Amino acid sequence: MSQAHQKFVQLHKALNASLIERDEEIACLLVALAAGEHLLLVGPPGTAKSALCNSLLDSLSGEIAYFERLLGKYSKPEELFGPPSLKALKDDRFEHKIEGFLPSAHLSFVDEIGKASPAIINSLLTIMNERKFDNGPDRIDCPLRILVAASNEWPVGEGFETCGAMFDRFLLRKAVSYVTPLSLKDVIFAELSKVPEILSLEDIDAAVAESASIPWSESGKEAYLKILDRLRSEGIRPSDRRCRKSARLARAAAWLRGASEVLPEHLEVLQHALWEDPVEHPQKVSEVVIEVSNPGAKKLAQLLVEARELVESVNTRNVTGETYGQLAKLTEVCNKLRDLPGDRAKEAHAKILGQAKELNQAVLRA
């Protein structure tokens, strides 16, 4: 295990301890960071989208250039790329003063990214895809390691036509929802730990280099091609660029798990990458990816959905015979989770078991 890998493991634990019910979002963030890619989070206000990025910022040591901006309908390019240089204008050149703005940042968070104007999008595409910025006649290098963006809604209709190209540059795109009612108490009252300084820029660069060198197993290759074939049969055809770049995500996922090669189980993260239409595709892609990459994960996902519905339906203030029936079903789900193999199933079992105990205690007190 390399030093960079050890630090990413530490960061994973620290982020999970600092946020409630954001396991999948944290996993996506770390995969994006280790793959040298960008992440888009979409969900209603107040779902810890910016908190996740701020926690990542807290974890970084050394001199980190951070840029954050909330876009609006009338946001101008200089709000992201810096004001015009008066000195350059005197020489009949148009250049931005980029210090303190996105082109000079290592880490960036842009909220309401869907409101970006075409003028903003044009420059943003080059920064995201090539880590370059056209500043007047010069194309300069950008030190950006990751851009995390957020939006309250997916771009559709005219919105998709306007920012579709930028939307495509986010290789990972994850929907975010509110926490379950049972976890709301922790959100309100729990003393969440602050993420300590763990990572340096050098650690991030090492992670990108190390993960890129992870080889593919034959079973991993076969599983990936099978996923793409199944998606085509469903009418879903990711671009060639997206298919190739998504392979980097699988390598990063394998590296984060300490694997020596990419196996089918490391392809699960691709459920957040291999789709184009944010309205119709995500659910289909998720089903195909999970079924091919990790059949056991499909059963795990079904049990977690069932557990979540049961937890949300239990009314501890008005205890009836139905309440006890729901608790009994929740116990059955816990037992099924206990019997599933793998670390994720073990973690899920511990989490649901804890929720079941809390509900039982609440019912006894009622």
Residue 158: band (very low, low, confident or very high) from pLDDT cuts 50, 70, 90 = low
**Rounded Cα gap, residues 188 and 102, in angstroms:** 33
CATH 3.40.50.300 domain span(s) along the chain: 3-189
Over residues 74-107, the pLDDT tens digits come to 999 999 999 998 887 888 788 889 999 999 999 9
d(C-alpha 121, C-alpha 125), whole Å: 6
Over the chain, what is the mean pLDDT?
Answer: 90
pLDDT at 182 over 80: no
What would you report as the CA-atom Rg of the chain, rounded to the nearest whole angstrom? 22
Q: How confident is the model at residue 346, as a pLDDT?
A: 82
What pLDDT shows up at residue 195?
95
Residues of the chain with CATH 1.20.58: 296-365
How many angstroms separate the Cα of 131 from the Cα of each of 47, 147, 253?
Answer: 29, 11, 23
Which pair of structure tokens corresponds to residue 158? 């005219």
For 110-119, 250-259, 311-320, which range has the lowest pLDDT when averaged over its residues?
311-320
Mean pLDDT is lowest, of 37-41, 263-267, 352-356, for 352-356
Lowest mean pLDDT among 54-58, 183-187, 264-268, 338-342: 338-342
What is the value of pTM for the model shown?
0.85
* Contacts of residue 93, Cβ cutoff 8 Å, sequence gap at least 6: 85, 136, 137
Evaluate whether 155 touches 60 at the Cβ level (below 8 Å).
Answer: no
What is the pLDDT, as a whole number, of residue 48?
93
- Residue 344 above 80 pLDDT? no
Q: CATH number of the domain at 296-365, out of 1.20.58, 4.10.860, 1.10.10, 1.10.3470?
A: 1.20.58
Question: Which residue pairs from 251-254 have beta carbons closer than 8 angstroms and sit at least 24 positions apart in sequence?
Answer: 251/35, 251/211, 251/212, 251/214, 251/216, 252/31, 252/32, 252/34, 252/35, 252/207, 252/211, 253/31, 254/211, 254/214
Q: Where are the alpha helices (DSSP H) in the chain?
A: 3-18, 23-35, 49-59, 78-81, 86-90, 118-130, 158-169, 181-189, 201-212, 218-233, 240-256, 281-293, 295-313, 321-339, 343-365
Task: Tell me the residue type at 330.
Answer: L
- CATH 3.40.50.300 correct for 3-189: yes
Average pLDDT, integer, range 15-26: 93
What CA–CA distance (Å, rounded) separates 291 from 19?
29
Q: What is the pLDDT of residue 154?
A: 87
